[in-house]
Amino acid sequence: MLGRRLRLAVIGGGSGSFIGAMHRQAARLDDRFEIVAGVLSSNPEKSKKDGAEIGLPADRIYTSVEEMLVAETARKGGIDVVAIMTPNDSHFEYAMSALEKGFDVICDKPMTNTLQEAEALHKMVLDSGLVFCLTHNYTGYPMVRQAKAMILDGQLGTIRLIQVEYVQGGKADESKPDPSASWRFDPVRGGPSLVMGDIGSHAHNLVRFVTGLEVSEVAAEIGNIVPGRAVHDYGGALLRFTNGARGSYWVTQAAAGVENCLRIRVSGTKGTVEWMQEFPQALTFKPLGAPSQNRTPNGPGTLPFAKRSSRIVAGHPEGFHEGFANIYSDAAEAIAARRSGNQADPLALHFPNSFDGLMGLKFVFGAIESSKANGKWTSC
Amino acid sequence: MLGRRLRLAVIGGGSGSFIGAMHRQAARLDDRFEIVAGVLSSNPEKSKKDGAEIGLPADRIYTSVEEMLVAETARKGGIDVVAIMTPNDSHFEYAMSALEKGFDVICDKPMTNTLQEAEALHKMVLDSGLVFCLTHNYTGYPMVRQAKAMILDGQLGTIRLIQVEYVQGGKADESKPDPSASWRFDPVRGGPSLVMGDIGSHAHNLVRFVTGLEVSEVAAEIGNIVPGRAVHDYGGALLRFTNGARGSYWVTQAAAGVENCLRIRVSGTKGTVEWMQEFPQALTFKPLGAPSQNRTPNGPGTLPFAKRSSRIVAGHPEGFHEGFANIYSDAAEAIAARRSGNQADPLALHFPNSFDGLMGLKFVFGAIESSKANGKWTSC
Amino acid sequence: MLGRRLRLAVIGGGSGSFIGAMHRQAARLDDRFEIVAGVLSSNPEKSKKDGAEIGLPADRIYTSVEEMLVAETARKGGIDVVAIMTPNDSHFEYAMSALEKGFDVICDKPMTNTLQEAEALHKMVLDSGLVFCLTHNYTGYPMVRQAKAMILDGQLGTIRLIQVEYVQGGKADESKPDPSASWRFDPVRGGPSLVMGDIGSHAHNLVRFVTGLEVSEVAAEIGNIVPGRAVHDYGGALLRFTNGARGSYWVTQAAAGVENCLRIRVSGTKGTVEWMQEFPQALTFKPLGAPSQNRTPNGPGTLPFAKRSSRIVAGHPEGFHEGFANIYSDAAEAIAARRSGNQADPLALHFPNSFDGLMGLKFVFGAIESSKANGKWTSC
Amino acid sequence: MLGRRLRLAVIGGGSGSFIGAMHRQAARLDDRFEIVAGVLSSNPEKSKKDGAEIGLPADRIYTSVEEMLVAETARKGGIDVVAIMTPNDSHFEYAMSALEKGFDVICDKPMTNTLQEAEALHKMVLDSGLVFCLTHNYTGYPMVRQAKAMILDGQLGTIRLIQVEYVQGGKADESKPDPSASWRFDPVRGGPSLVMGDIGSHAHNLVRFVTGLEVSEVAAEIGNIVPGRAVHDYGGALLRFTNGARGSYWVTQAAAGVENCLRIRVSGTKGTVEWMQEFPQALTFKPLGAPSQNRTPNGPGTLPFAKRSSRIVAGHPEGFHEGFANIYSDAAEAIAARRSGNQADPLALHFPNSFDGLMGLKFVFGAIESSKANGKWTSC
């Protein structure tokens, strides 16, 4: 393997960004990256200040992505990987630039704001042979991985029924007008459906990740439940899956008082698994005809894919950061393998990639189309 | 008030019936009824045997409903009320007969198997002025009533979003063929959609009861997820409510390993309430901008409608039987008031009635129609 | 078996008594008793009024226990059983009188206020051959019985460690002076240690019931944590059991905001069970080296003793009333068998009896003695 | 402040050590340390190999602590801080050496194996003015800190009752003999009472941290419940606190099937807080006379001390690593302030220190003395 840490550049994540700090902590936790360069903000002054704040050397704090990619390409010991954590509408441009110059890419979700961009980006990834990792971080939780591994192992039998919901309250307070300055309330920058891009894509990806099934058709309604709001704040759907399974899907950011309830339930012919992000250390497994079980990270019955995704003995909870770090560390494994010409551990290769990003966009646009067509079942 | 217990006759609920014992225990718990007569089974011999088993005097065990209604009408000290707990396809006939002869009626849900019957029965109830109580028993749980009372009190503000699910596993085992002898697998006796009649009507009624809103339109898919099954075993829907609120609805009896997960979540502009039947002693209230609360029966903040629905001090759980008994006791209050010409306690008058039954049938048929029309939004 | 309901007289439980209504509902639920006579209060006028309130015929409402026992003995179709639900200091007198006259007895806990009385009463029960049932009602919960049955079945191996706690908040509010009128704040009427009699005896009995072990020695501190209070409001202890197991014991009524947290955890060589009264429908079983399980009433793995203690299919919670009713129904089984000369179902004979009451008193007095001796290990 | 990361050397934590990886991840997460040197093992070859494994440069991997401290003192850009994560019996020696040479110290718990050592070390810390941080990591969880902050803020009133338990199952499997090679089964290396040093000291420290109270007297029994075991595997105690509060204490590593149940409950005159390590994102607050609340990290009502201890918005769980990292980051704050002559943020100064370590040893020895004296109340 590569005998050193990967050299990482960050794009975005300056002061005030929640997700920027998450990316950097995720990169650091398992010590497979060193953050050596960055464009922290599109505002040059802010980029300098925020770059210094996170400890970057002055000569590797850049004020444009293009500038950074050129300079780091030329530099001896320049960067290996670029991590993108900017608003949704710039993911495509920065990811394409980085891939064109031969850098592996870690990118926040949703992958792009349009389907055309998603297709182009996915093609670019395939053509380049580079690693592209999309940070659908919830797939990094040990018990989400345990659920996937149990299903792959046949412990649930044929999947029949799926429920997924992602309910938040961040946009519920109607006593305050929507902040027009924020891109999260701006339908232009935020993409075709903010609730779908922000959290709906997570819910969709989680279902695909856990079950291995694709949504074949969707019947949806997406809109704004808060009167007068410019962006979507809820989306509901019924789902049909490629194997005939059926599903229910519900996402909103307007549920007053709810914090971050991402919840999935999958029933197969042999049993049901249930997982909730707010208590991620618990996976409930309800086998047909036997007592319901509480599965825990590294507890009895842990399968290898979950075992390698946990750093600690059973009973000691890991959280959001460790799940996020699992995605980063898996990407590191893939990148290091590619660079050294070695085989990566196959269990490392389940991190979300550009195909997953493309499928996410297809689902979002399928759901929007269905919603416009009065809930008609629509392929996606 | 009426200075004595009401005299109750039971129709159905012979040995082997789960729901029969529930009705009788519910009737007994608060000592407002005495069970004095019955037709326990359509099989005369079984009716005799089962009637004796539950302690009925031999001369008040009948072998046909008609016979019983005639005899008890003639009898001094004859019955006041009839409770119907037979398979779905006979509810209409027995209820009509009883009402025609001037008896108040307590009837298991769904009210009828057809919309026409529901309309006729509802009209009959209105015309007769008699009490008709439909045992949507989940509306009897203290914390369901607390949720309703909090919403009536304005503590949730304007209702925006509703999620309801009723997930069971009783029809999940695909290794055994469906028992053709059971009316619960028979599309003729069970009504137009067994999953909707059995549990879907409970879910729908619970939403209406708690929120006070009606479903205006539904986009649904209902079917059998278990291959080769003759009756429906799942139903999913998106809902639009009269006030513009939106909802997600999911019911199934084919979720392997799940016991009885009826769960509702209602978000208004001021907060969210969440309730789950498997832990009915807990109501979670998540006010906007304040800590989430665990409400308990008779705990702090209990409103009068919940208070009168609980028999015990906070911290001592009540269950299914007590919720069921609340419906019976409320019906007793209404019947005793009617008979004595007094006013009933207004808080007793929230038990489900023939209007609720009619709305349930309208919803089920609306959802079936939508499902047949490829998920089209359909009035109901 | 006895071909009729048992005729029950109640002593105590007039208006204002919480436990009285519980006893009567428990007696009614399974229809094995009819309540036909009573002395509801030591105040004659109140007894008359409260007796009428619960539907007793005027000629069977008595104003003294002695009067009732004499009259009912003489009466054709007189009472079979007496249920005592008076303050602690009168249990002994009423129970002895009833037994002396040949009546079976159901009595609230603690059995008596002194050890001498407990010994005399237990001897009387043995000598008379009558049924004596002590309503340690928590032993009636289906999942408590499942825990006992699993231990009897060897599923936990040798018991090593036991934790029990009973934490309430009913005496926590220090802003109000203790109500001197209430016998629950009166050290004379309430017995030697109110917290121990009220809830400590429940905790002790629950441990004995579930594990089948006796406490051999106790090291305790019992006292009043609220300054200036005349009665005990907390008790802590370490326990040694006859088989060498060790335990921790903690009871209090002064934990502000806590409702009714009776909780037990038992670890054997093969696993641990955990149960909490506030969510009695769940028994957690943590087998050594296998995933933790959630056991539910009538769920997979239910053993016969638990199965017969539940009235309903899995997933439908039962509560306090059903547990209490299990005690009454088991007593009915024993009494009916005794009267008819038949064998009772052996699974019915686990209800708490006078031996359990005696062991409870021994424990309470052992703990008090230890507390006075500066926590010295004391036999009990 | 210090304009750079602190340079950290690790002692212990070689391959096979669980806690070593935890320390290093905790040091990395917030980017306030760089790990530059170390003695990974007392075996020179293993130290070299394990040091390279964690990315140390070859010339800063040492084979003895003394050698490292001398070399790094001489080196330009040498280490600032030493982190000790070796078996218990070596903490004292290494910590004293490091302090003598002027290094700040981060040390795993228990601080020492004897009371004399603890007193000497504490004196050394005071005399030197250096920072000494003891990694009682559970005090780093945001909701533990919220509990402490609420109590400091008076939200619980006067503390009356405390329950703490730390229950594990790691030493429960009696089918396998105790591994004599492990220091965790060796009474000589592991200290006077392994269960007390390992987890009992955590439980004791957690109580002191949350309540701010000291244990004044203890009545205890400590021993081995598994027959034939050489080290203690359970300890039970009753506690008296300096302000008159009372407590119950229970720790064991022999509870089959239990993972890591550290649980605390504190009742004051105004309410109760409850916290459990297995679900650390939840703090239950039960105010007197108002509904019970679920507090979450960064949720409504979060106080500043908890707020600064959480990296993420409400609803996204943090775990063991983040709590551990909070201790490291607070220590970094204190060390950087000391070195730069600035004031540290006062909220950073609540990490456990040598006084806490000394109090822990006093408690352990007090409990052992009480246990030997047949449970006599003993000062500590």
Residues of chain B with pLDDT under 70: 1-2
Q: Does D285 touch chain B (CB under 8 A)?
A: yes
Same domain assignment for residues A255 and A375: yes
Q: Is the pLDDT of residue A183 over 90?
A: no
Q: How many CB pairs under 8 A join B and C?
A: 106
> Which ranges of chain D does DSSP label H, i.e. alpha helix?
18-29, 44-53, 65-74, 91-100, 115-128, 142-152, 194-195, 201-211, 304-307, 320-340, 354-372
Q: How far apart are CA C333 and CA C5, in angstroms?
A: 11
CB B266 within 8 A of CB B156: yes
Tell me the backbone φ, ψ of residue A319, rounded to 5 degrees: -135, -150
Among D289, D290, D293, the residue with its CB nearest the CB of B292 is: D293
- What is the structure's pLDDT at A1? 58
Give the three-class secondary structure for C115: helix
Domain count for chain B, please give it: 2
> Which ranges of D162-299 does DSSP label H, i.e. alpha helix?
194-195, 201-211
- What is the structure's pLDDT at C181? 73
Angle, vertex CA D156, rays to CA D152 and CA D158, nearest 5: 85
Same domain assignment for residues A197 and A333: no
What are the pLDDT digits (tens) for D138-189? 999 999 999 999 999 999 999 999 999 999 999 999 999 888 778 888 888 8
Cis previous bond, C346, omega within 30: no
What are the pLDDT digits (tens) for B63-116? 999 999 999 999 999 999 999 999 999 999 999 999 999 999 999 999 999 999
Q: Does C341 touch chain D (CB under 8 A)?
A: no
Q: Is the pLDDT of residue A180 over 80?
A: no
Mutate to test the interface with C, among D195, D238, D240 (most CBs of C within 10 A): D238
Q: How far apart are CA A221 and CA B241, in angstroms?
A: 14
Mutate to test the interface with B, among A155, A161, A175 (most CBs of B within 10 A): A161
A7-30: b or e for each residue (b if 16 or more CB lie within 10 Å)?
bbbbbbbbeebeebbbbbbbbbbb
The torsion angle over the Cα atoms of residues A294, A295, A298 and A301, rounded to 10 degrees, is 110
Q: How far apart are CA A252 and CA A264, in angstroms?
A: 15
Lookup result for tokens 């441990």: C207
- What is the structure's pLDDT at B6? 98
Residue C271 β-bridge partners: C268, C287
CB D228 within 8 A of CB D143: no
In a domain, A319, yes or no: no
Structural domain of residue A63, as residue ranges?
6-138+326-349
Measured CA distances, D249 to A271, C268, D156, D265 (Å): 40, 20, 20, 11
Same domain assignment for residues D177 and D53: no
CA-closest candidate to residue B95, choices B134, B140, B67, B60: B134
Looking at chain A, which residue has its C-alpha nearest residue C297? A291
- How large is the average pLDDT for residues C106-123? 97
Q: Does C265 touch chain D (CB under 8 A)?
A: yes
Looking at chain C, which residue has its C-alpha nearest residue B298? C259
C95–chain D nearest CA distance, Å: 36
B286–chain A nearest CA distance, Å: 5
**pLDDT classification of C3: cutoffs 50, 70, 90:** confident
CB B113 within 8 A of CB B89: yes
Same domain assignment for residues D162 and D257: yes
Residue D358's contacts (CB-CB under 8 Å, 6 or more residues apart) are: D111, D118, D119, D121, D122
Q: Does B288 touch chain D (CB under 8 A)?
A: no
Residue C111's contacts (CB-CB under 8 Å, 6 or more residues apart) are: C91, C92, C95, C117, C118, C121, C134, C354, C357, C358, C360, C361
Give the three-class secondary structure for C334: helix
Contact residues on chain D for C285, CB-CB shorter than 8 A: 257
Residues of chain D with pLDDT under 50: none
Residue D83's contacts (CB-CB under 8 Å, 6 or more residues apart) are: D8, D9, D10, D11, D23, D27, D105, D106, D107
Contact residues on chain C for A293, CB-CB shorter than 8 A: 291-294
Cis previous bond, D142, omega within 30: no
Mutate to test the interface with C, among A292, A293, A296 (most CBs of C within 10 A): A292
- What is the structure's pLDDT at A80? 98
Among D289, D292, D296, the residue with its CB nearest the CB of B293 is: D292
Q: How far apart are CA C340 and CA C245, in angstroms?
A: 42
- What is the structure's pLDDT at D1? 58
8 Å CB contact of B315 and C18: no
> Which ranges of A277-345 does DSSP label H, i.e. alpha helix?
304-307, 320-340
Q: How many CB pairs under 8 A join A and B?
A: 155
DSSP track, B327-366: HHHHHHHHHHHHHHTPPPPGGGGGS--HHHHHHHHHHHHH
What are the pLDDT digits (tens) for C63-92? 999 999 999 999 999 999 999 999 999 999
Question: Residue A250 has which token pair?
Answer: 């519900």
Contact residues on chain D for A28, CB-CB shorter than 8 A: 28-29, 31
Q: How far apart are CA D55 and CA A28, in angstroms?
A: 13
- CATH code of D230's domain: 3.30.360.10
Residue B100 β-bridge partners: none
CB B343 within 8 A of CB B337: yes
Estimate the crossing angle of helix B354-372 against helix B201-211, to 10 degrees. 120
Q: Is the pLDDT of residue A250 over 70?
A: yes
CA-closest candidate to residue A271, choices A249, A287, A292, A250: A287
Q: Is the pLDDT of residue A63 over 90?
A: yes
CA-closest candidate to residue D272, choices D208, D204, D211: D211
Tell me the backbone φ, ψ of residue A154, rounded to 5 degrees: 85, 5
- How large is the average pLDDT for residues A372-379? 96
What are the pLDDT digits (tens) for C35-57? 999 999 989 999 999 999 999 99
Among C161, C252, C287, the residue with its CB nearest the CB of D161 is: C252
In a domain, C319, yes or no: no
Mutate to test the interface with D, among B281, B294, B296, B302 (most CBs of D within 10 A): B294
Q: Does B225 touch chain A (CB under 8 A)?
A: yes
Q: Is the pLDDT of residue C259 over 80?
A: yes
The pairing of strands B132-134 and B104-107 is: parallel
Q: How far apart are CA D340 and CA D334, in angstroms?
A: 10
Average pLDDT, chain B: 96
Please state, for a pLDDT cut of 70, what percent of chain B lies above it. 99
CA-closest candidate to residue A180, choices A127, A229, A114: A229
- CATH code of D59's domain: 3.40.50.720
Same domain assignment for residues A248 and A166: yes
8 Å CB contact of B221 and A268: no
In a domain, B319, yes or no: no
Q: Does A314 touch chain B (CB under 8 A)?
A: no
Q: Is the pLDDT of residue C190 over 70?
A: yes
- What is the structure's pLDDT at A188? 80
Q: How far apart are CA B103 and CA B105, in angstroms?
A: 6
Looking at chain A, which residue has its C-alpha nearest residue D35? A31
- What is the structure's pLDDT at C200? 97
Same domain assignment for residues A209 and A309: yes
8 Å CB contact of C256 and D288: yes
Scan residues 33-92 of C and list those with Cβ closer than 8 Å to D: none
Among C31, C55, C312, the residue with its CB nearest the CB of B320 is: C312
Same domain assignment for residues B61 and B112: yes
Q: Does C29 touch chain B (CB under 8 A)?
A: yes
In a domain, C196, yes or no: yes
Q: How far apart are CA B142 and CA B148, in angstroms?
A: 10
8 Å CB contact of B321 and C168: no
In a domain, B52, yes or no: yes
Same domain assignment for residues D76 and D146: no
Q: How far apart are CA A84 and CA D213, in angstroms?
A: 48
In a domain, D283, yes or no: yes
Contact residues on chain C for B142, CB-CB shorter than 8 A: none
Same domain assignment for residues D224 and D168: yes
Among B289, B291, B296, the residue with its CB nearest the CB of D293 is: B291
Looking at chain B, which residue has its C-alpha nearest residue C21? B311
Q: How far apart are CA C39 and CA C62, in angstroms?
A: 5
- What is the structure's pLDDT at B47? 94
Q: How far apart are CA C323 and CA B352, in angstroms?
A: 28
Same domain assignment for residues B158 and B237: yes
Q: How far apart are CA B158 and CA A77, in angstroms?
A: 59
Question: Which helix (H) or strand (E) segment is D83 a member of?
Answer: strand D81-85
In a domain, A321, yes or no: no
Lookup result for tokens 């029949």: A160
Cα-Cα-Cα-Cα dihedral sign, residues A180, A181, A182, A188: positive
CA-closest candidate to residue C79, choices C104, C56, C58: C104
Same domain assignment for residues C169 and C24: no
Contact residues on chain C for D290, CB-CB shorter than 8 A: 257
Same domain assignment for residues A249 and A366: yes
CB A14 within 8 A of CB A79: no
What are the pLDDT digits (tens) for A107-166? 999 999 999 999 999 999 999 999 999 999 999 999 999 999 999 999 999 999 999 999
Looking at chain C, which residue has its C-alpha nearest residue B52? C3
In a domain, B159, yes or no: yes
Q: Does A244 touch chain D (CB under 8 A)?
A: no
Among D299, D316, D321, the residue with its CB nearest the CB of A318 is: D321
The pairing of strands B246-252 and B234-241 is: antiparallel
8 Å CB contact of D291 and B293: yes
Average pLDDT, chain C: 96
